[in-house]
Structure 1
Amino acid sequence: MRVFPGERPLLGNSEGAPLPDSRSELPPIIRRTEFVAFALAGLLLIAVVAVLYIAKAFFLPVVMAVVAGTMLSPAASFLERQRVPRAVGAVLIVVAMTTIVTFVFALIASPAMEWSSRLPELGAQLKAKLHVFDRPLALWSDLQSMLGGSEGLPSFQLPKIEWVQPTLEFLSPTFTEFLLFFATLILFIASWRDLRRGLIMNFSDRDARLRMLRILNEIEVHLGNYLLTVTIINVGVGVATGVVCAVTGMPNPAGLGALAATLNFIPIIGPIATFVVLVVVGVVAFPSIGGGLIAAAAFGGIAFMEGHFVTPTIIGRRLALNALAVFIALAFWTWLWGPMGAFLSSPLLIVALILKEHLMPSDGPQLPQA
């Protein structure tokens, strides 16, 4: 087609018809602003995690106190309705909680100290009883040598004593962290009503205030119910474990039951650790390996019933927690803050789900159930 000077060429095919607009058929394009927003959000998340990890000595006691204070706020409200000043009620609640925790840890610490003083003797007994596995290990060594692997029996060696002090340093907070935790907990419980009011009135829009009020109410109710329900369940697990240990003749059944109840507050890891402890104690305390595994096998049945039937039936009605989400949260917070992070993983996951439900509601059409 010839175009004369000063004329604009016609866009079209050879017959002069305009080309169809094909923009709707193009794939979606990520704009530069969206990419920058995603990158900034990722960098912000990395920075927050790094700060929480580096400043663990400050953030862990504070977050622990805030979560525990939110769980215990209904008890302070109950005492306030009984004409007990909230500040006095906060002190009474913290003193009662500290007394209970100290009593439980005393039950656990007494046999633990006794067994740690006899560690070389108990290690020799455990090593002698594990000679029953010499034959399977010899067969495994022969198989390795036939396949061209390294020869020789793998020898059983006890861990050295040097691991005790680093472990205690890892598990035990410092005095400053304890002081920060208790001070923050008492002040948080005592001033929770004013904090609620300040958080709500911080928004000028009425709808935003109502949303914040619903979020705070739901967090307080769910965390309080979670603490009460999980405590009752874990006390039941501890009592059942203690009874099983007493019936089977395990040493110090009260301490083992208290250990089972305490570790059961940590999902997944806690029951596994209790099972391992029962196996080791049973193998050392009983003359035969089969007799020493009875209590551990009974606890495995108790933990299975609790984890698959009791806890999902009770807690699942209030707030369903996905098993994968619980596992990922447990792994992340345990890596970040150790054992206390493992304890906080489920409450923090509950808070995150409540915030997601209110701040990002799914009002759109839902996919049909498979």
Structure 2
Amino acid sequence: MRALPGERLLGNPPEGTPFPDSKAELPPVINRAEVVAFALVALLVIVVVAVLHLARAFFLPITMAFIVGTMLSPAAGLLERYRIPRALGAVLLVFAVVATVSFMVGLISAPLMEWSSRLPELGAILREKLHVFDRPLALWQELQSMLGGSDTLATLQLPKFEWVQPTLEFLSPTFAEFLLFIATLILFIASWNDLRRALVMNFSERAARLRTLRILNEIETHLGNYLLTVTMINVGVGIVTGAICAATGTPNPAGLGALAATLNFIPIIGPVAMFVVLVAVGIVSSPTIGAGLIAPACFAAVTFLEGHFVTPMIVGRRLSLNALAVFLALAFWTWLWGPIGAFLSSPLLIVALIVKEHLMPDNSPQLPEE
């Protein structure tokens, strides 16, 4: 057969030449070794999470002591400069922390005990104040019946208080966990320099030692700055909240201010819980619902300014965290370890980002400009 003109220009093979087996030359789409490695890593993560959840009574106080001890290490170093031994400085710092926490708990527990003894009376007052919503609820019930839905929402039912005791048991750690936390915290602060030196000298190469030292120093600096900055901001939020409660006639402004400062250590959840508390207290203690919502509205404005302007301006870009990463870390550690895990979520996220930055630096090439 005569070849058409242009076949040789297109590079067609002559007649009788077999085509190469292109399938044999292509690399496999999925590498079996990569699948096995991914499966092993996934199993390792599942096992670690399960162990942390099941052995919560041991790992939670230990992790809490490590994080808080790293935050307080710069203060212990400052005391060493004034010729105070590190062991004595560790005891003084832990005593100061326990005294501060006890003072905050005292401010919060006094009004809490008073209000908890009046729960039936306060429930009746709250039910009476919320009668204004009876007509909207009746309209909603009528709409549901027209659409064929259930009409179980006849009146506004207040939640029962059977959850109070289980919640308090869940929030309060056991005495053994508290002792484990205190002992580990004191020993960690006292021996932090030796632990850091041992971690650095564990590597034989000089580059690995320098990288480990930089990671540890950066974690200590960032966590110390985080604790100092967040504590100052939360104390300011507590003072402003107490002043708002005093100005609006809300009872126990000191206790509510201490509660606002404490809950503000927990991102996202803390301010929302404090807003709900202020709404309940304001509605019960004020003559009208509108007057009771003044303090919660002012608190919402304060937390909005604090979260969007004050904290980013003071913390700066170095300690600023992605909102999605903060939310996911908060959800995970709260599910794993409860409220204390929620407090530890941001410090643990900072530690993870610092380690990732040093071990896996972002040296990827930039995309070309269009």
Q: TM-score, normalised by structure 1?
A: 0.93
Determine the C-alpha separation between the residues in 2 that align with 1:117 and 1:180: 33
CA drift of 1:17 comes to: 6.1
Report the alpha carbon displacement of residue 161 of structure 1 after superposing the two structures with TM: 3.4
For residues 262-277 of structure 1, the aligned pairs below 5 Å read 262-277=262-277
User: 2-side partners of 1:107 and 1:147: how far apart?
Assistant: 50
Secondary structure of the structure 2 residue equivalent to 1:362:
coil
What's the offset of the Cα at 1:27? 7.0
- CA distance change for structure 1 residues 17 and 218 in 2, over 3 Å: closer, same or farther? farther
- The one-letter amino acid paired with 2:98 is T
Identity %: 74
| Cα distance in 2, alignment partners of residues 160 and 248 from structure 1 | 28
Letter in 1 for 2:138: A
Per mean C-alpha deviation after superposition, the further-off stretch among 247-256 and 24-33 is: 24-33
2:252 counterpart of 1:239: no
**Cα distance in 1, alignment partners of residues 139 and 282 from structure 2:** 27
Are the equivalent residues in 1 in contact too, given 2:230–2:265 (CA < 8 A)? yes
Superposed, 1:213-228 pairs within 5 Å as: 213-228=213-228
Q: How does 1:1-370 map to 2 (within 5 A)?
A: 13-15=13-15, 26=26, 29-151=29-151, 153-367=153-367
Question: 2:234 & 2:367 partners in 1: Cα distance?
Answer: 37
Pair 1:192–1:153, CA change in 2 (3 A) = closer
- Secondary structure of 1:107's aligned partner: helix
Conservation of the 8 A alpha-carbon contact between 2:137 and 2:153: yes
Amino acid at match of 2:118: R
Distance 1:47 1:287 in 2: 55
Is contact 2:126–2:283 with CA below 8 Å preserved after alignment? yes
Letter in 2 for 1:330: L
Pick closer, same or farther for the CA change 1:242–1:52 going to 2, 3 Å: same
1 CA distance for matches of 2:19 and 2:215? 54
Alpha-carbon distance in 2 for matches of 1:315, 1:341: 22
Partners of 1:39 and 1:114 in 2: CA distance: 55
Distance 2:213 2:126 in 1: 58
* Matched letter for residue 285 of structure 1: S
What whole-Å deviation, never above 9, does each CA across 1:205-247 have from its counterpart, x for those lacking one?
1000000000001000000000000000000000000000000
Q: What does residue 9 of structure 2 align with?
A: none
CA change 1:368–1:82 in 2 (3 A) is farther
CA shift at 1:314, angstroms? Answer: 2.1
Letter in 2 for 1:366: Q
Unmatched segments (≥5 aa) in structure 1: 1-11
Pairwise CA distance, 1:285? 0.2
Change (3 A) 1:369 1:153: farther
Task: Report the Cα distance in structure 2 between the residues aligned to 1:192 and 1:163, rounded to whole angstroms.
Answer: 41
Separation in structure 1 between the aligned mates of residue 331 and residue 307 of structure 2, nearest angstrom: 18
Conserved in 1, the CA contact under 8 Å of 2:141 and 2:151?
A: yes
Whole-angstrom distance in 1 between the partners of 2:132 and 2:217: 58
Cα distance in 2 for partners of 1:276, 1:191 equals: 43
Cα distance in 1, alignment partners of residues 369 and 164 from structure 2: 51
Structure 2 partner of 1:7 = none
CA–CA separation in structure 2 for the residues paired with 1:40 and 1:153: 51
Cα distance, 1:26 vs. partner?
4.5
Is the Cα–Cα contact under 8 Å of residues 76 and 189 in structure 2 kept in the other structure?
yes
User: Which SS does the other structure have where 2:318 is aligned?
Assistant: coil
**2:108 and 2:259 in contact (8 A); partners too:** yes
| Matched position secondary structure for 2:29 | coil
Distance 1:120 1:112 in 2: 14
SS in 2 for 1:162: coil
SS at match of 1:161: coil
Higher mean C-alpha deviation, range 157-166 or range 346-355:
157-166
Describe the SS at the equivalent of 1:30. Answer: coil
Computed over aligned residues only, the root mean square deviation of the Cα atoms, in angstroms, reads 1.9
Superposition deviation, residue 108 in structure 1: 0.3
Going from structure 1 to structure 2, the CA distance change for 1:86 and 1:152 (only over 3 Å counts) comes to closer
TM-score of the two chains, using structure 2 as the length reference: 0.93
Rate the CA distance shift 1:246–1:369 in 2: closer, same or farther, 3 A: farther
Q: Distance in 1 between matches of 2:233 and 2:89?
A: 26
Secondary structure at 2:123's aligned position in 1? Answer: helix
**1:25–1:269 CA distance, 2 compared to 1 (3 A):** farther
What amino acid does structure 1 have at the position aligned with 2:344? L
Paired residues in the alignment total 359
Larger deviation: 13-22 or 323-332?
A: 13-22
Aligned residue type for 1:141 = Q
Contact 2:134 2:155 in 1 (8 A): no
The letter of the residue matching 1:232 is: M
